[in-house]
């Protein structure tokens, strides 16, 4: 089955909904954001290493381990079942069988606009702070040089594997990826609407919405 490494959906201040149309999906939902988990003093190096590893490698055993260490819950979603991810919470998913699913972020237009603006202004600061906090625990040293070197490695790894949804989410990837997806979606909807008008048939529900 396919996987979705641990990530936080945009806009982070709004909930998201996972709908499984057909198949079998496991979803770990953490009790907080990457940053709150990483900066919590009760979590040790091995815990943070597990969380970082989950950004690019996910399987049922790892989801169970994440739930055991960090809390939250693992949802088991099948045909026509829905799971809700609270605002500012990490989640990861694994498809046990071939699965068709969709993910919606539930937000107002104002929340979405605020998300885009805030991402452009703070994303790089947030990812640097989160990477530094994770690196300090992973390295286990007070040597600032070693910590910074480790932090840079984490940032590079996130850019290669986690993309815009990782806890170090990169605004460049966000702009190139998510906004490009939005533009493609709009173009597709316009094309479908034009065909429906020519054929004088009703618009599909996903276009009307």
Q: Domains plus CATH for the chain?
A: 3-105 (2.60.120.650)
Report the distance separating Cα 52 and Cα 138, nearest Å: 10
- The arrangement of strands across the sheet holding 3-7 comes to 3-7, 91-95, 24-29, 73-78
Distances (CA, A) of 28 to 31, 53, 77, 161: 10, 14, 11, 19
Q: Which residue has the higher pLDDT, 156 or 14?
A: 14
Question: 6-39 burial by CB neighbour count: b if 16+ within 10 A, else e?
Answer: bbbbbbbebebebebeebbbbbbbbebbbbebbb
Which tokens sit at 129? 């702070």
- 124: which residues sit within 8 A by CB, 6+ positions away? 170, 171
Binning pLDDT at 50, 70 and 90, where does residue 206 land? very low
Helix or strand holding residue 86 (H, E): none
The secondary structure element, H or E, covering residue 190 is helix 171-199
Question: Is the confidence at residue 15, as pLDDT, over 70?
Answer: yes
For 186-202, what is each residue's pLDDT tens digit? 565 566 666 666 766 66
């Amino acid at each position: 089955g396919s996987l979705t490494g641990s990530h936080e959906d945009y806009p982070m201040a709004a909930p998201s909904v996972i709908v499984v149309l057909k198949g079998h999906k496991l979803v770990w939902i953490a009790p907080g954001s990457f940053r709150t988990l990483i900066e919590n003093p009760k979590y040790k190096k091995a815990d943070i290493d597990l969380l970082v590893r989950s950004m690019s490698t996910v399987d049922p055993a790892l989801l169970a381990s994440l739930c055991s260490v960090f809390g939250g819950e693992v949802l088991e979603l099948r045909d026509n079942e829905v799971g809700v991810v609270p605002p500012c919470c990490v989640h990861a998913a694994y498809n046990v069988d071939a699965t068709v699913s969709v993910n919606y972020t539930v937000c107002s237009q104002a929340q979405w606009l605020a998300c885009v603006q805030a991402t452009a202004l703070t994303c790089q600061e947030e990812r640097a702070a989160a990477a530094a906090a994770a690196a300090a625990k992973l390295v286990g040293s007070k040597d600032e040089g070693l910590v910074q070197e480790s932090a840079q490695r984490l940032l590079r790894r996130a850019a290669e594997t986690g993309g815009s949804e990782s806890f170090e989410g990169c605004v460049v990837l966000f702009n190139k990826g998510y906004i490009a997806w939005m533009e493609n979606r709009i173009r597709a909807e316009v094309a479908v609407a034009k065909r429906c008008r020519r054929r004088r048939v009703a618009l599909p529900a996903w276009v009307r919405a």
